Structures are given as structure tokens and as C-alpha cells.
Amino acid sequence: MKKINLNLLLVLTFFMLGSVSGNRNNSGNVMPVTSTSGKAIELYYKSIKAMENAENKQAILLLDKALKQDSCFFMAFFQQIMYDLYQDKEQELKIHIENALNSNIKLSAGEQILKKALNSYQMNPKNQLSGAAKKLTEMYPADIDIWYILASLQAMEKNYKESLISFQKIIEKSDNPGPFYNQVGYLNMFLENYGAAERAFNKYIKLNPNHPNPYDSKGDFYMHTEKYPQAYCNYMIAYALNRDWSYDKAMRAKWKSIARKY
């Protein structure tokens, strides 16, 4: 499960002694992402696309590259924080929050709201970040990236029903909704809505048939519902598409299927 069709970013403004501000399209209804480097912004948006497709290692590598271009890139730190929260990486989380708060670049109004929320979270982790993300969806309703941050935070805070609503909003706005059906599938699994979960995973496969993650996710669904032969088949499809995917899962499904016979 893993955290939006990415058109190549449009660099909006460049100040010789200031910053580059970019977003994914030319709408004024999205939050500008601020950096001293246009290349850093390009890498940042590529990392988001990788994260949506569960290519987490690639996403983190791209964020690291973006931060080499701009060591004060606030939103790159924020995406690292999102990953740390998802993976429960406490030490890394503390470091990345500190780095984000120490960023001295002039931020957009939306980024300032996130920075203030991070400061509040640092003082008390009970101060959840989703409130700030919700405010940003009201400020920038066309910004799929902000909706994705909100939906992901809601899921991590175990507000699964609210997260489902947010992901449905993203699906309505996105011209590449496949990865978001993936999230809808997992959320419905958590809520034990297994019929809805299976339909969502099937939709993901239909929309993105050449990526391994839809089959890996469908395999997870079958593992969760103890249909081990079907899980094995889906994991092996993912493995056939990309040898870095799903083999260990396939072997676990195979042995569970064998063990059930005895």
C-alpha cells in the first residue's frame, strides 16, 4: 500500500537571489512548492509519483537527490516525514522534522501552514498533522498532492472512513486514478469491506495492467482473506513483471497453501 498523474512541473517564478516556485500544472488553485532549484522540484515530483506506485526506495532516493540540489527544500523534508510516519521510523522522523523546521527558505503560504503544524507536532505528537492538511485542501482544492497528503495522514491516524472520502476526491480529480484505487482497496480491507476492497484492486489492475504493484496488492488481499493459491498467482504475476517484486510473498503464499492441506 503505499502514500496522481504527474505532468512535468511548470516552473513559475525564478528570483536570482530567491527561490523557484513550482506545481504540477498552471492552475492558481494548487499550492506552490518552493525551492532554490528547479531541478530539485522536478526530482520532488518524480518522487511523489514513485511513492504512489509503491516504489518506495526509488522515491526516497529521488528525495535525497532533490535535497542535494537544495539542502533547505522544505517539502522534500516533509515528504520524508510522511514516509517516516508511515514506516514508524522514530529516529529519522525527529531528524527530518528538525531539518524541515530549520529550513530558512521563504515559503509559500501553504508551506508555512505545514511548517507551523510540524512545530506543533514536535512539541506534542498528539497535535495531528491532518488538521493542517485539511485546511490546505480548502485553500487549494484542485491540488491532488495536498489531497494525497491529507488522505495518507488520515489513514495513518486510523481515520479510515475519512481517508476513503479523501481518496475518492482524488480519484475524481486525477487523470491517472489507478494508484488511488489501490489505497481505496487497502482501506476497505481495514474496514472489512472485502467486496469493495476486491473491486478497488480489480480496478487498479485494469487501469495499470503493466505495473507489478496492482498484482502485489491483489495478492495481499487474497492472503488477508486466506485464499493462498490465488495470492500466489498474483504475486507471481507481479514478479514476472519486475523481478524486484513479490517473490518472497509468493513463497509464503505457496507454503501456506501446502500447509493447509495437512
Cell of 87: 514506516
Q: Is 219 exposed, middle or buried (0-12, 13-18, 19+ CB in 10 A)?
A: buried
Phi, psi at residue 77, to the nearest 5°?
-60, -40
Which of 251, 256, 247, 199 is CA-nearest to residue 224? 256
Q: Which domains does the chain have, with CATH numbers?
A: 1-173 (1.25.40), 177-262 (1.25.40.10)
pLDDT digits 0-9 by tens, 19-54: 454 555 445 588 999 999 999 999 999 999 999 888
Q: Enumerate the H helices of 157-227 as residue ranges.
A: 160-173, 178-190, 194-207, 212-224
For range 183-195, the mean pLDDT: 96
pLDDT digits 0-9 by tens, 54-89: 899 999 999 999 999 999 999 999 999 999 999 999
